[in-house]
Amino acid sequence: MHLATCRTGRSFILYEASALCDALTTPPTDPRFFDPDHWRHSGQVIGEAPGRGASLFLNVGKAQWVLRPYRRGGLIARLSERRYLWTGLERTRAFREMRLTAELYERGLPVPRPLAAGVTLHGPTYEAALITIRIAGARALAELLLSGEADAVLLERVGATVRRFHDAGLDHVDLNARNLLVDPQGKVWLIDLDRCRQRQPGKWREANLERLQRSLGKFDAAESMPAIRQGYSGARG
């Protein structure tokens, strides 16, 4: 996977050239690629994911993309929902997530293929967004739990998948039932690696699992955690 960087005015873009060539004749050097209104006006928005940031599903060329703007939550969002303090390009949330996702993807882990990360400067602050390939037909674990479609076999597969990421050193700081997707073949995927990082084994692994358990409770599915832990304990590498 070859990542390239370009700059247009106040905007910086880190993109995966080979994947984008399938849909575009030129690299995405236009900052409008990361503007939700650009896609809405072009009529290429075909859906929207729930949650903060309002990720958009885009119909582009031969594939569908996911555009996820970075948005703040909590009390700080009252001051600035979209902007973050600039401390250097490689420390921006978009570039860090793009590089981490690309590394995990190249290692064969089930993450969406990353396409591009965009950062636009506004004085001492910046706005950012990330584009990835949409996983065809995938549904969030949360949806499957609510519909009663998440059986013990699937839940154990969820646990085994989480273990694979932990064995690769990924500390997913927002491991929840919406960030775990299941495709039509039953394969489990992990999304949204914002603020995540690779670490040596430690207590953070159990903290990830406890966060997932709290998430299950929000969907009245706390009883699903033993099966997930069973899959987690039985996984190897």
Radius of gyration of the chain (CA): 18
Catalytic residue selected from 30, 35, 167, 174: 174
195: DSSP letter: T
Phi, then psi, of 198 in degrees rounded to 5: -95, 135
What is d(CA 84, CA 71) in angstroms, rounded to the nearest whole number?
9
Q: Is 174 an active-site residue?
A: yes
What is d(CA 82, CA 182) in angstroms, rounded to the nearest whole number?
29
**54, 32 in Cβ contact below 8 A?**
no
Closest listed residue to residue 69, CA positions, set 90, 87, 88, 45? 45
67, two tokens: 């555009």
What does the DSSP assignment read for 125-136? EEEEEEEEE--T
C-alpha torsion sign, points 169, 175, 178, 183: positive
Catalytic residues: 174
